[in-house]
Chain A
Amino acid sequence: MSKKIIVAEDSSVIQNLTKKILTQMNYEIASVKNGQQVLDLLEQDSYDLILLDIHMPVMDGMECATRIRNLETESKDIPIIAITGNANNYGMKDFESVGINDFIPKPLNYDSLVEMVRKYVTDVN
């Protein structure tokens, strides 16, 4: 069974792109546009990884990550990878403090995106 990944990204360009690339790699993708929608998804189902844009409306990535780690379900341990253009000069330390496991800088490098996902989701395929 394919591993399930949530892509949270407000830009539809990046969202579509990421979705397509990862679908191509045989992952099952659920895409949302803000942090709140991520939490909504996690309430309904369990996932293997979250690619989380930091700069998002409604609920940004930092807030979203904090909330996930405070959940009382199994989903609280899900790996979270930040996607960031680093608008707010966050460092790795800042990410770690909210429970983000790793980050991919923008502009996105497709190879490093795939590599990063593979690192966290050992795919049975």
Chain B
Amino acid sequence: MAVVDNIAEDQNKEISELKSKLEQAERDYYSLVEKTNQNLKDLFDNSNDLITIFKPTGEIRFANAVVKNKLGYTDDEILDLKFLEVVHNDHRRNALQNILKITAGSRMERFETVLISKSGKNIYVTGKLTSIFENNEPVEYRCVFYDISERIRAESAQSLYYQIANITITENDLEHLYTGIYDQLSQMMMVKNFNISLKKGGSYTTIFRRNENDDLTGDVDNALMDYAFDRRRSLIIYEDGIQKIESQFKKKFKDSMPKIWLGVIIYLNSRPQGIMSVYSYTDQSAFNNKDLELLDFISGQISLAMERKEKEDKIENQAATLGAIFDSSTHQIWSVDRKLRFTSFNHNYSEAFKYYFGIEPEVGKSLFELDQITFSDERKEFWEDKYKEAFQGKFVNFQTKIEKDKKEIWRDVFLNPIFLPNGRIEELSVIANDITDKKEAEVALISSEEKFRTIFESFQDVYFRCDMEGFISMMSPSVKEVLGYDQNDMIGRQVTDYIKTKAPLKDIMEKLFEEKRLRNVEGTVAQENGVKLDFLCNIRLIQKEDGETEIEGVGRDISKLKETTKELQRAKDFAERSLKIKERFLANMSHEIRTPMNGIIGMIDLMGSTKLDNEQSEYVKTISKSSQTLLNILNDILDLSKIEAGKMELRQEPFRMVKAIEKVYDLFSQQASLSDNVLYYHIDERIPEWIVSDETRLIQVLSNLTANAIKFSEEKGNINISVRLQKSKKNKHFFKVSIKDSGIGISEKDQKTLFQSFHQLDNSTSKNFGGTGLGLAISKELVKSMEGDIGVVSTPGLGSTFWFTFAAEEIDPSKVTQIQPDQSFTKQFIDKAPRILLVDDNDVNRKVATGILKKSGCEITEAKDGFEAIELVKKGTYDLIFMDIQMPKMNGVKATQEIKKLKIKNLPPIVAMTAYSMEEDRQKFLDNGLDDYLAKPIKAETLINKVKSWLAFEPKQMTTEKLTETSEALVINQNTINQLAKFGGQELIETTLVDFEQEAEELVSNTQKFLKKKDYEAMRGELHTLKGNAGTLGIEKLSNQAASIEKLLKANKFDNLKAEVTQLVAHFEEFKESSQNMLITDE
């Protein structure tokens, strides 16, 4: 063990040696280390880096001077701290993790964290953190950091600039902008108090505020803001400065004072408008000059934003206004791009478009692309041309029309190129205006102007216009033709240069001013060659658009007219004088002729009643006929002269239309049958029973035409009178009467002259048919006065239809009786011969009347005038007085009135005797006290009938029979047979005729039979029945023959019976044939 001990000893010795060596080495080493440490320490302290060494427990073993400086700790203080305690709270976790990573052996190129100073200031650092291991155990951590706070600040400032600029650009809402700015500031600069105020007047309006204190009065703010604002400078004010300001303002601030306050001016449109401030209540070093710069920048941004906002608002307003204008405009507004696609349009355009095309326009589509619309190539080309022109930079204006619903819609279109700043044109704006009304007015104006011009230029009269002083401003071209002056030469000259009227114009002018217009002003105007013309002018005042008054007029040359008028007047005077002479002559003549006519006709009547032999009777008949014709002619001439003198007056009295026609029928049926013609008449059922018209004149016309028809008809013809109702207006009716014959007819040429006075168809005819040729002319005039017309339709050889129309009013039959004059005298019964007083100044007339009346058994007293008559009436008693009207000394009317005044008991009726020409005056006589009326010339029959109508008097038989025309009897008198129709219509006529034929057959054969047997008494009985029956039915020939045989038998004249009976049979056969015809015709 010794060995071991030795060895051990040796070893111990060796160990101790080694130990001492090692200790020496260690001492050397440590002294070296210490030296080195001191050197290093100096080195570290002089370095700019922050160097810290801490133990794994975290205790700081070493911190160089820089660290102590930055963190604000003393040597002793810092060595009491742990590393993590100087790391910013927010970064501790991260720092610890990194330390653990390093402890675990990771290498870390860069360690970044934030340290916090004793005063709480952040110090951004970056650097290396290394761990020292001993025996795989970390013994120490070494940090070498450098301060990057400035860099971080710069970076964050840059970021802030960027962020704020970004917010300014993106954020339109100012409130959001301010909030955004504040968020950035608080984030980057730890700003907790932020204020933006605008100065308006003397006070500040806070538009944004963030403050740690809630209950601010703003007194500090306001004072500081005023301070900065007055200096127009951005300022940093510290607490002591604030206190100075407080004392300067001599007041005590209520709000707590910030340690530091930064304020920058906000400029709007280059004028200081407000202040933005940032401050801290805790850290005086919270901000520096760099922050002030940042705030300056921010205020600039805010200014921009505010300005922009202001502009935007303005623009928005303007845009809204423009938009409103755009849409509410009554114009159609739209815009198109280069491809003619709509880029916009207003409401009005859209509406119009919809109306024109039925669809709405669409943005982005071209008008020509809308396939619902078919455009004519022409129209498309037109628009494209216009657009193209505008795209070349021209303003284009044109008018165009669209046809819609058959209407033309006119638009006034303006194409305006929209110039971009670079001068390019990408769009056109189009404004269109509906000018249809204007256009129509324009068109109307143009046409009326044209019309006016045409009228003006083709005017025959002279149109002029002049001002109030007479200077001519307008003159129609016609003046050249009328006066010889050139229209243009006259303009500007005075009217008085041309007017040569003697009377002063002044009077006319005064009247013109008073009445505004004058018509038919006559004046004298000089022609260019000096000749004076008579002018007739219409002039008036006109108000021009500019308010001035002018005189306008139209003049006409009436020189020729005046001359013509004068000549006409002369001619008229002459004609009237001639006419008067003619009238007077006719009136005289008619009176002169009428008197001898009275004598002739009356005496012939009387002569006819005397005993005459056959020859004499024949002569008398001829004279009677001739004088009757002469009287008719005379009447015609009188009528015509009266009509021509305009003295024909119609008598308007009620009468029955049917009666009038029947009268004509009765008058002419005989005459017609003489020429072997049959007269028919037909009356329209619609014709009123009673009408008011002049019956006499109507019958006259009808008679004229009927007489003509008979006259010009050859044998075995028909004459048909028909009356039709043409139309009715209330009570007034228009009638058409036609008289159709089957006569010789009238050529077209003759038809034209037919109704002229004194006209008859060729002489040969007039010789054949006689007459004055006045009938138609008279008829024409009469019909005219009855609102009618007359005419003829004829085919030569086939007959003519004469027609006339007339108007008359209908009258209720119940009123008729009242209208008719009542007869005051009733028929007086006379036992003995009637005593008649005849008053007439004309000897012949008296002789005629006396002759007739005496013959018929009257007692006659004659008076030559009214006085004589009155005397006679006073003395004697008369049953009837005939009173001539036209008498010298005292006329008939006067005499009658005198007689009536006598108040004689049983005063006789007084009958006026008047000329035919005074027939219209009949009513006048009756009104004047006369009781009745008798037309001259006097005829025996009418005179006696008149006596009979007043007195119950049976005149002595007068053989006037001889004088009445032995009118040949008719086979069947249509008129008589027609009477039957009243009772039983056509049927009764037919059955009766059939009955008659059967019975007559027997009667006739019996007559023949008895004749053979010579049984005259029986024969007479048969004939008597036949006579009566045939007569009743108007079978005249047969009836007459039966009567004449009966007469022979009665007179016992049996010689010629056989022949007479043969004649009877012949008449019966004739009747049978006629009746057959009639029945057939009537069917």
Contacts and interface: CB of A to CB of B under 8 A. Distances in A.
Contact of B992 (A10, A16, A106, A111): A16
B1031 A87 contact: no
Contact of A11 (B983, B991, B1025, B1039): B1025
B1028 A14 contact: yes
A121 B999 CA distance: 30
Contact of A108 (B988, B998, B1032): B1032
B878 interface: no
A117 to B, nearest CB: 12
A107 B1032 CA distance: 4
Contact of A87 (B1032, B1033, B1046): B1046
Given A21-B984, A24-B984, A85-B1027, A110 B1033 contact: no
Contacts of B1027: 85, 106-107
Given A87-B1020, A110-B979, A110-B980, A14 B1046 contact: no
Contact of B1029 (A11, A20, A110, A111): A11
B596 interface: no
Nearest to B1027: A85
B797 interface: no
Contacts of A55: 1021, 1024-1025
Interface in A1-55: 10-14, 16-17, 20-21, 24-25, 55
Contacts of A85: 1024-1025, 1027-1028, 1031
A12 B1025 CA distance: 11
A11 B1030 CA distance: 11
Contacts of B1021: 55, 87
A106 B1033 contact: no
Interface string B1013-1039: 000000011001101111111100001
B10 interface: no
Interface in A68-111: 85, 87, 106-108, 110-111
Contacts of A106: 1027-1029, 1031-1032
Given A107-B1032, A107-B1039, A111-B979, A17 B999 contact: no
Q: How large is the interface on A (under 10, 10 to 19, 20 to 34, 35 or more residues)?
A: 10 to 19
B204 interface: no
A14 B1029 contact: yes
B982 A107 contact: no
A98 to B, nearest CB: 19
B995 interface: yes
B1010 interface: no
Contacts of A108: 1028, 1031-1032
B668 interface: no
Contacts of A20: 983-984, 988, 991-992
Nearest to B992: A17
B972 to A, nearest CB: 13
Contact of B1028 (A11, A24, A110, A111): A11
B73 interface: no
B1032 A14 contact: yes
Nearest to B982: A110
Interface in B564-596: none
Contacts of B111: none
Contacts of A10: 1025
A13 B1038 CA distance: 15
A122 to B, nearest CB: 20
B996 interface: yes
Contacts of A11: 999, 1025, 1028-1029
A123 B764 CA distance: 62
Contacts of B1020: 87
A108 B991 CA distance: 17
A16 B991 contact: yes
Question: Which among B982, B1020, B1025 has the greatest number of chain A C-beta atoms within 10 A?
Answer: B1025
Q: Which of A16, A17, A20, A25 has the most CB of B within 10 A?
A: A17
A110 B999 contact: no
Contacts of B980: 17, 110
B1046 A17 contact: no
Contacts of A87: 1020-1021, 1024, 1046
A40 B777 CA distance: 67
A12 B982 CA distance: 20
B900 to A, nearest CB: 35
B1029 A13 contact: yes
Contacts of B992: 13, 16-17, 20
15 contacts: A13-B996, A13-B1032, A14-B1029, A17-B980, A17-B995, A20-B984, A20-B988, A85-B1025, A85-B1027, A85-B1028, A87-B1021, A87-B1046, A106-B1031, A107-B1027, A107-B1033
Q: Which 8 A-B pairs have the closest CB atoms?
A: A107-B1031, A106-B1028, A85-B1028, A108-B1032, A107-B1032, A21-B983, A87-B1024, A13-B996
